[in-house]
Amino acid sequence: MFTIRLASGKEARIHAGHPWIYRSEIARVDDEGEPGAIAHVRDNRGRFLGQATVNLKSQIAGRLLTRQEEPVDAVFFDRRIREAVSRCGRSVRGEDACRLIFGEADHLPGLIVDRYHDLLVIQILTAGMERVREVILEVVKRVVQPRAIYERNDALPRKLEGLELHKGYAWGEGETGIWIREGDLSFFVEVAEGQKTGFFLDQRENRQVVKRLAKGREVLDCFCYSGGFALSAAGGGAASVIGVDLSAEAIAWAERSAQRNGLASRCTFTAANAFDALRAFDREDRRFGLVILDPPAFTKGKETLAGALRGYKEINLRAMKLLAPGGILVTCSCSYHVDASMFLDMLRAAAADARRVFHLVELRTQASDHPVLLAAKETQYLKCAILETLN
Ligand code: SAH
């Protein structure tokens, strides 16, 4: 039987509730299976710890599926998927779009499933999940009963697992550009061409906060993508909204959604570099009542952390300077390597340089359909600070 035995002492993380086993922690491999095959995991003294999908090509060689000696079959995945879908149903009510399955945090490592109305978008990120792809598709179809399932297996982490990149319908067919409702707004989502699986579902709850804060304010949404925050602000009664994103395609989607919601007269979207736009507004002495910063992850590793923090500080410093008295900054980071305390320290340094005094009104995180596994810090990646100036 395919079994991995951990080096002495390396079982602690597993005992603490974390699902990962690094390749360097494996002392012995017996009857090695294909990449992604399920192995029994034992500590150095031979005690059973659980069953994991194991891909020795990847740094994260093992991902625990269960701590029981149970069959890992269609019945197992049916139970896990139903649990995840029901967890999502308890946190998201009455919304068209949500994350049904969030990989490790839903005890299904390597699997992402997002729902956009009646269309599901699935992402398989590990060799372990790839091996059970057919089973997963069957169970998901039965449990969720979607119109179609689109597969976004063009995500780069697949390369680390030795998997090829591809996308397309896994089942069913139809338009890949669809309309979803979020609260009382409609958003255009392109599941084949968009970022991630098409929409930033992780910011849903933060968009509601922006909606409440925006009334009567002049708003600047930097890194606006398809207009999630910008349109939420406009919907919440902002006086005017400017959205800036580098992607002309995303800007076109934002404009389309602005039209559909009857908000176009108060919204201006521009395809531009947000760093340049912030600098230009500063030169013009423009002031805003609400600035939103939601940049892409500036670092995906520890090596580039210092540079990333300089980037975050630069945009935050510039945004702080643009705030009118009483202005609000909603500032985010989705870099897992920048943790909440580093993020706040960066904001303190930016505020000091900007000579502005702020209340930290709230420090928020990802929407609750992206659950956080207490033992796995990696599952909590989004920071969203809400700062309000006095001066
Ligand atoms: N706030 C959005 C998600 C933003 S994702 C939402 O809630 O939907 C980050 C965005 O930053 C992407 O759309 C990407 O196109 C954009 N981007 C990356 N680098 C940029 C830059 N230098 N200037 C402006 N936009 C940039």
- Three-state SS annotation for 71-136: CCCHHHHHHHHHHHHHHHHHHCCCCCEEEEEEHHHHCCCCEEEEEECCEEEEEECCHHHHHCHHHH
Q: pLDDT at residue 391 above 80?
A: no
| Per-chain mean pLDDT for the chain | 97
Distance CA 212, CA 373 (A): 29
Distance CA 308, CA 206 (A): 23
pLDDT computed for residue 301 by the predictor: 85
Q: How far is CA 256 from CA 16, 87, 204, 267, 269, in A?
A: 47, 33, 19, 11, 10
Q: pLDDT at residue 271 above 90?
A: yes
> Average pLDDT in the 248-268 region?
98
As given in the structure block, the two tokens for residue 386 are: 């809400």
Q: Ligand 1 center to residue 166 CA distance, Å?
A: 23
Q: pLDDT at residue 340 above 90?
A: yes
Q: Ligand 1 center to residue 116 CA distance, Å?
A: 21
Q: pLDDT at residue 262 above 90?
A: yes
- How far separated are the first and last CA of the chain, in Å rounded? 67
Q: Ligand 1 center to residue 246 CA distance, Å?
A: 7
Q: pLDDT at residue 385 above 90?
A: yes
- Tens digit of pLDDT for each residue in 286-307? 999 999 999 999 988 888 999 9
pTM here is 0.96
Q: With CA atoms as reference, report the closest residue to 271 among 287, 252, 290.
A: 252
- Measured by CA distance, the residue closest to atom 21 of ligand 1 is 273
How many C-beta atoms lie closer than 10 Å to residue 367's C-beta?
Answer: 22
Catalytically active residues, by annotation: 334
Q: With CA atoms as reference, report the closest residue to 136 among 74, 208, 90, 54.
A: 74
- Measured by CA distance, the residue closest to atom 12 of ligand 1 is 225
Distance CA 119, CA 174 (A): 9
| Beta pairing, strands 20-22 & 60-66 | antiparallel
**Cβ-based neighbours of 239, under 8 Å, separated by 6 or more:** 216, 217, 218, 219, 266, 289
Q: Ligand 1 center to residue 244 CA distance, Å?
A: 8
- Measured by CA distance, the residue closest to atom 10 of ligand 1 is 223
- Measured by CA distance, the residue closest to atom 11 of ligand 1 is 223
Nearest ligand 1 atom to the CA of 292 is 1
pLDDT computed for residue 152 by the predictor: 98
Give the rounded percent of residues in the chain with a pLDDT score beyond 70: 100
- Measured by CA distance, the residue closest to atom 6 of ligand 1 is 228
**Cβ-based neighbours of 381, under 8 Å, separated by 6 or more:** 334, 335, 336, 366
As given in the structure block, the two tokens for residue 173 are: 């067919």
| Residue tagged 């596994």 (tokens) | 373
As given in the structure block, the two tokens for residue 249 are: 């395609």
As given in the structure block, the two tokens for residue 7 are: 């080096």
pLDDT computed for residue 381 by the predictor: 96
pLDDT computed for residue 300 by the predictor: 84
**Cβ-based neighbours of 307, under 8 Å, separated by 6 or more:** 298, 299
Which residues contact ligand 1 via a Cβ below 6 A?
Answer: 195, 200, 203, 223-226, 228-229, 244-247, 250, 273-275, 294-296
pLDDT computed for residue 302 by the predictor: 87
Strands, DSSP E only, in 158-235?
Answer: 166-171, 177-182, 185-190, 218-222
Is 319 in contact with 295 (CB distance < 8 Å)?
no
> Average pLDDT in the 206-230 region?
98
pLDDT computed for residue 339 by the predictor: 95
Distance CA 214, CA 228 (A): 13
Q: Ligand 1 center to residue 331 CA distance, Å?
A: 13
Q: What is the DSSP letter of 195?
A: S
Q: Which of 114, 245, 281 to mutate to test the pocket of ligand 1 (most atoms within 8 A of CB)?
A: 245
Using alpha carbons only, what angle is made at residue 365 by residues 368 and 386, rounded to the nearest 5 degrees?
A: 135
Q: With CA atoms as reference, report the closest residue to 246 among 314, 296, 291.
A: 296
As given in the structure block, the two tokens for residue 16 are: 């603490």
Q: Band of the pLDDT at 66, cuts 50, 70, 90?
A: very high
